[in-house]
Structure 1
Amino acid sequence: MKAPADCHSMQDLRVQIDLLDAEIVAKLAARAAYIDRAIALKQIELLPARIEDRVEQVVERVRARALVEGLDPALTEDLWRRLIEWSIAREEQVLGPVSP
């Protein structure tokens, strides 16, 4: 991939963004595979889909990483909370929701 400063036209820039988007989608698919494995392990370990302490730990880590990378931590948190909720819903399809 080229650095943004090495893109000298919008077409060139768009090609790089498209390549980056493909990498992001591939990483999200890989993350989903880990979620699927978590389902199997949570069944064995009798853990629920939602573990609030873990949710907050993940959010805290991505916010901190966003700051290091110069990315808006609020945006990062919003994106990750949505990703986490999707992941928990995926797990709950197999594990079921937590009973009150």
Structure 2
Amino acid sequence: MHKPALVAVDPRVDPSECQTMIEVRQGVDALDRALVALMAERQRYMDAAARIKPDRDAVHDEARIEDVVSKVLAAAKAHHLSPDIAEPVWRTLIDRCIAHEFGVYDRTRS
């Protein structure tokens, strides 16, 4: 017998419609879970980069870092995200991703 597919219910209320802190926290918690999934996917791209880059010196690329930050700031502006939040968050994310990539590079080349 065929079982109906489970449909995920989005517990979020639009922020402008929130009336309680419970609604705010449910929205934040749902977004945090989504962000973790996206960051895990980003990490898998760093794993691929570590596999593809020809040498360890290619792992840290200052020009690429500035390019990513520039693109993020443009996207942040379009989405009304404060650059005071976006820039330090992405610079930290990039820093940690580079550290991860160095680790993967070193482990796979040992």
Report the TM-score range of the alignment, normalised by the length of the smaller protein: 0.7 to 0.9
For structure 2, list consecutive stretches of 5 or more residues without a partner in the other structure: 1-11
**Corresponding residue for residue 54 of structure 1:** 64
Structure 1 segments of 4+ aligned residues over 3 angstroms from their partners: none
Count of aligned pairs: 94
SS in 1 for 2:58: coil
Structure 1: which 5+ runs fail to align? Answer: none
Structure possessing the higher relative contact order (Cα contacts under 8 Å, 6 or more residues apart)? 1
Partner of 1:89: 99
Query: TM-score when scaled to structure 1?
Result: 0.83
Structure (1/2) with the larger helix percentage: 1
Residue 77 (str. 1) matches residue 94 (str. 2):
no
**Quick check: which has more Rg, 1 or 2?**
2
Q: Verify the 8 A CA contact 1:35 1:91 in the aligned structure 2.
A: yes
Map of 1:39 onto structure 2: 50
- Identity, in percent, stands at 36
1:23 correspondence with 2:63: no
TM-score w.r.t. the length of structure 2 is 0.76
- Over the residues paired in the alignment, what is the CA RMSD in angstroms? 1.6
Give the alignment partner of residue 11 of structure 1, picking from 22, 28, 46: 22
Determine the C-alpha separation between the residues in 1 that align with 2:105 and 2:44.
16
C-alpha deviation, 1:94, in angstroms: 3.8
